[in-house]
Structure 1
Amino acid sequence: MEIVIVASAFGMNAVRADGHLKWAQAAKRAGAAGFEVRRELFASEADAHPEQLRALGVELGELGLWSVFSTPAELYTPDGRLDDGALRLALDEAAALGARFVKLQLGGFAGDAHGAAIAAHLAERAGRAQRADGATARLVVENGQLARGGSPAQFFGLFDALAREGRAGLLGMTFDIGNWAWLDVAPLELAPRLAPHVEYIHCKTAAGEGARRFPVAPAADDARFRAVLDSLPRDVPRGIEFPFDATRIDQDAAHYVGWLAQV
């Protein structure tokens, strides 16, 4: 079981202030196999320059970590069009980093999968740059906390549309267990149907109500959380996306890496 630590687990302000490398080192000490780089946590646009991303990728590799490149960009515009520019930029930046996955939000998908266009972008990216191991970043879309890009119907529709186009498997899904709470959707109801498409899992639960919800660590005795994991593939990476205790970050991170690998 490969465990990833999402950079934001160490605190968004801390990552913006100190940079991703410092916290990737903490992820390595905790025993993680991978580290999720978050574009929105860059201190400035200079951090997204190809040379900066390549340098960070080399440093992560020297630590023995593989990476996920996460961007808040949306694959589909609010009016339902494929966002060619956002997709191309995300693929380029992920390639510079040498990421295993490139993760976008789904956005305004409304029924037309644009599978041929997505495939063309992926082929273009593969032809222009690859990771050191010869592979390219795997494209995954994540269920977000907003109705646009977080609706179960959108994900069912996306994968059904790709299958109709003969492009099943063109991209995968990041199943964020906690994000469904923002839409008052029970993840256990969705996990079995979406499981064939899930290639990466974001692990967290939510506390609070309405707009005051916030991510928290799953309780050790949370049977519903365990049931969701049991309904999803066990051979895909699990990412820790809940905040660690700032007073004992190293101990907390190591504890949850070990726990999540066993639960």
Structure 2
Amino acid sequence: MADAVDVVIVASAFGMDAVRSGGHLKWAQASRRAGAAGFEVRRELFADAADTEPQRLRALGGSIAELGLWSVFSTPASLYTSAGQLDAAALQLALEEAAALGARFVKLQLGGFVRDAHGAAIADQMQRLQRTNLRLVVENGQLEEGGSLAQFTGLFDALSREGFADVLGMTFDIGNWAWRDVEPLGAADLLAAHVDYVHCKTTVGEGARRFPAAPAADDAHFAAVLDRLPRNVPRGIEFPFDASRIDVDAARYVEWLGHA
């Protein structure tokens, strides 16, 4: 049997309103009970802007670590502006907040990347923080800007040409490709070498009425995508749990994804 994979529970899996009202720590505790290895903190789910201040992030990160979990810090901010320029201020803020939390990964959206990857500028931001254990990742989003396959292949090609291939990695969101009508198997073939973290979900519905959903245990297509991606990277649960049996649901999916 293959070794188990670290499974992260994304805070939003417990419900956005539940996280805003109960706070992240409550759901980190639920993640620990479910057997998860990590917990993804979502910046947009803080109920109060003061929760993103360094001292509060340090306190939250310390409490998560005391549970025996490592953390991901996710922000809806984008690495590139709509004009295609590196957003150095957004990157610096995200890195500082993730560092305060003590996160292992800091995750941003890609935004309006077009051609020049600005790898040296990204590397400079990372080096100034001197946090060699903080990994920067960008996620394929649901919108056209920051969600196209060509943007991600272009990004990593440009970084490689500039000699900065290792400055950042990717959060490969299996379900988000559906919003862009991209076949995730093909995307996995092109991007697997750059994937550091996988967001696990499928979708139901079509168009504007498309929603994230849990993959079925017998979903051969989902299993095939996982097989194309690195097995030594963590897998995040980003689909909603059944609110009537959250603890049971969370534990079941943690066990399944850890060994799928």
- Taking structure 1 as the reference length, the TM-score comes to 0.96
Of the three residues 64, 77, 83, the one matched with 2:68 is 64
- CA offset digits 1:79-138 (Å, max 9, x no partner): 100001100000000000000000000000001000110011001111xxx4xxxx4410
Quick one: distance in 2 between partners of 1:188 and 1:112?
27
Of the three residues 203, 208, 211, the one matched with 1:206 is 203
- CA offset digits 1:24-67 (Å, max 9, x no partner): 00000000000000000000110100000000010001000000
Q: AA paired with 1:83?
A: D
Correspondences of 1:90-101 after superposition (within 5 Å): 90-101=94-105
Q: AA paired with 1:73?
A: A
1:48 aligns with 2:52: yes
Quick one: distance in 1 between partners of 2:236 and 2:11?
10
Q: AA paired with 1:15?
A: V
Secondary structure, counterpart of 1:202 in structure 2: strand
1:189 aligns with 2:186: yes
Quick one: distance in 1 between partners of 2:146 and 2:173?
12
- CA offset digits 1:202-241 (Å, max 9, x no partner): 0000101001111000011110000000000000000000
Q: AA paired with 1:125?
A: L
Q: AA paired with 1:206?
A: T
- Quote the residue 1:31 is aligned against: 35
Q: Answer yes or no: is the 8 Å Cα contact 1:10–1:249 preserved in 2.
A: yes
Structure 1 consecutive aligned stretches of length 4 or more whose deviation exceeds 3 Å: none
Correspondences of 1:136-155 after superposition (within 5 Å): 136-155=133-152
Quick one: distance in 2 between partners of 1:136 and 1:197?
17
Structure 1: give runs of 5+ residues left out of the alignment. none
Structure 2: give runs of 5+ residues left out of the alignment. none
Quick one: distance in 2 between partners of 1:184 and 1:159?
21
Percent of aligned pairs with the same residue? 73
Cα offset, 1:161, TM superposition: 0.2
Secondary structure, counterpart of 2:244 in structure 1: coil
Correspondences of 1:107-122 after superposition (within 5 Å): 107-122=111-126
Quick one: distance in 1 between partners of 2:6 and 2:189?
21
Q: AA paired with 2:30?
A: A
Provide the aligned length of Structure 1 versus Structure 2: 256
Q: Answer yes or no: is the 8 Å Cα contact 1:95–1:136 preserved in 2.
A: no
